[in-house]
Amino acid sequence: MTIPEYPHSETLELLVEQLETSKEGLNNSAVQKNLSIYGFNEIQEKKHNLFTLFVTQFKSPLVYILIVAALLSFFLENIHEGLLILLIILINSFIGFWQEVKALSSIKSLKKLTESKTQVKRENQIFAISSFHLVPGDVIILSEGDIVPADIRLFDTNGLVIDESILTGESVPVQKDSNLILPKETLPYELDNMALSGTTVTKGNAEGFVVFTAQKTYLASIAGKAEEKSPDTPLTKALEVFIKKHMLILLVMITLTAVLAFGQGRDIIEIIYLIIAELVSAVPEGLPIVVTLVLTIGAMTLSLKKVYIRHLPSVETLGSTTVIASDKTGTITQGKLKVEEVFSLNETFSQTVSALANESIEGKGDPLDTALALWLGKEYQSIREKYPRVNLYPFDTKYRLMASSNMIQKEHKIFVKGAFESLKQFATNQDDFEILEKEHDRLASNGLRVIALGTGEHTTDDIEKWQIEIVGLVGFLDPPKEGVLEAVQTAQRAGVKVMMITGDNPLTAAAVAKSVNIYKEGDLVVSGKELNDMDDETLEKILSKVTVWARVLPEHKYRIVKILQKQGEIVAVTGDGANDVPALKAADLGIGMGSGTDAAKSTAKMVLADNNLSVIVDAIKQGRTIASNIRKAIYFLVSTSLDEVILITGAIMMALPLPLYPVQILWINLVADSALDKTFPFMKDEEDVMNRAPTKLHEQFLDKTQLIRVLYAALVISMGALFIYIWMLDNYGKECAISTLFTAFVIATWMNGLQSLKENEPFLKNIKKSLHINPYIFYGISIGLVLQLFAIYLLSDVFHTLPLNAESLTVIGLMTLWVFGMIEIRKWVEYLWKK
């Protein structure tokens, strides 16, 4: 047996010879032989080691820092905090592990698409067998409702119509014709003499030879790409960049401090405690908790809008998105054909043909039939009742038409609808051809799907002998969903490019894209065929000008995503079919549709219950708010850990005693930092986040501006604290100085927290907004104040504190004004400079 590489281009006679089969089917010995050669008909899954998958969840700089923080906590005998940090690490790792395991189920979902009972003819007898046991050369019998179990070359078709949307994305079912011989280079969505694995028979029946099974099917090639590892989220990448920069700066400072302390002749034990104190200060151990909280609250908010997050870091990926590559059908458009325009030579006859040459029942049936029925409204049923049907002629793939014969009074008439070029062959009104062709081309150039309507006397059942008169043309459109135009404009204002990827033809795709502002004058529309002939270098050159991709294949969609990512774009891709799995997996953010296949939903990181582009754009806005809140949390946590390091380093450089005890540093991190940072997830928008372009990945959390602000805040707090410490040491002694500094530092941190609420505007400009942007922060400060008073007056032995006297309160008040005032001055300078 030889399986031809291009069975669609072979004659049936040659194919029978190559496959060593016949239309009566294989015999048992041939089945066993082919089974031993080609194996069972199933998509193979790549084996994954679950233990290895779990271990890889710990490969993160943030996790390494948390482990260091846990070890330090155990060293300082702070067992509860150490256990809490380890618990956080384990929870995060289990979440990541669970997401990866769930993603693997996409392959299982693809396998299910071809697992079914199948009618097969062997030795001229028909059997119902599991699709698992099919082999090349088998004769398959397909009927309405069947899922095609393998790639099949058809040899007999009877009105066969197949829904291939699961592979091609094309919303309209495809008519098949076994008599066709196609060129070798024919693309999968043009294989009109084949039935592809995973597709569904919607009408008619057929027989065909199995040519490709298991890994050789077109569906399996899609599954192969689904094995690829998803890229790290922008949040993960940005946090890793931030952590590396942060820890490099801190390690330099801690090393410098240790060298200075050693040079000053301090005891080794004191130096060790000094390093521990700085490490405890430096590690932003609250950061993973805050980031997780921000993402969780964001995911909960999105779920209220029917956007369900399957992979938590993807919440922030929304905010980083620079390109949305969206499907047309069901996301941009309603997924239902609508009669957009009708040209009639005879309006009455046009309506009559539309009602009678129609199989729609109660709004169900072929999309074209249903659209015509809705267009006619109440007239649809009254026309059908008025003129009873005599014969129905189902869609004929050769003549590309369907018809009905009905009694009009006492006359037997034929009513036909189909392709204009097909009906012209039977038309007698040739004088009307010029105007009909002109109108046909006009409707088609507007992106409408056009059919012709005709009527004549019924004299025979032989289609070739029919004589009709073309009475009109109907143009159909899948109309845009409400709110999509506004959503596209919002995305474009926010610097997010929207592309449309569809299986429809270029004219239709361009017309729809133009109606929602995706396609503009000067933009490019690229078809799958053009993309096939294009190398990556050429594709990269034109990519920025392309807004519409038409008649594309799954491998094309996947390739588009990869090239966009190569150019530094953060890509969100929508998908609902098995054909979308590779692109969903490769994208930075795969968005599955709630009405889509299990394969698409299990691969996606986000699932929409409402399949609408406007929901995605609204989710991007929420994602940007989340990213902004994470950025503010990082500013607050890093500046309030760096200030402690600078304070300790400054004291050592000036040969002063350690200004804070390690237990006090831990308390500051708990009361000053944690009481406030847990409120950051509830922060409201400071401004319209959709009025700016997406932030570059490496600038997301620690760009030059953020770094300068962090250093400025850390220096303001630490220099103020150092001045207080020196003055109190000279006037009130070490214990009083440390005790006063301890509380002053806590309140200074709170002032920095209040200033963190607004990044681009001074606190005192629009105070009402400043107070309402995050009211929960004031609850955090209140709780922190009560806890601080407990530490001073009830746990003084533990925290080395003395009661606060008038001088201490004055110094603390001055420190509060200093920190708040200096940061406010910096903000006013920045604000006025920008203006």
**CB of 62 within 8 A of CB of 155?**
no
Tokens representing residue 426 in the block = 């039977």
Secondary structure (H, E, C), 582-632: HHHHHCCEEEEECCCCHHHHHHCCEEECCCCHHHHHHHHHHHHHHHHHHHH
d(CA 365, CA 368): 8
**CB of 161 within 8 A of CB of 173?**
yes
Strand order in the sheet with 524-527: 307-309, 606-608, 589-593, 571-575, 323-327, 497-501, 546-550, 524-527
**CB of 286 within 8 A of CB of 84?**
no
DSSP track, 727-746: HHHHHH-HHHHHHHHHHHHH
First to last CA, the chain: 78
State the DSSP code for 278: H
Active-site residue numbers?
Answer: 327
Phi/psi at 38 (nearest 5 deg)? Answer: -100, -10
**CB of 204 within 8 A of CB of 511?**
no
**CB of 667 within 8 A of CB of 80?**
no
**CB of 600 within 8 A of CB of 587?**
no
Residue type, 219: L
Residues contacting 788, CB < 8 A, separation 6+: 671, 743, 746
**CB of 679 within 8 A of CB of 780?**
yes
Which long-range contacts link 372-381 to residues 24+ away (Cβ below 8 Å)?
Answer: 372/339, 372/474, 374/338, 374/339, 375/338, 375/339, 375/342, 376/351, 379/351, 379/355, 380/354, 380/355
**CB of 585 within 8 A of CB of 225?**
yes
Residues contacting 680, CB < 8 A, separation 6+: 290, 293, 294, 629, 632, 633, 636, 756, 774
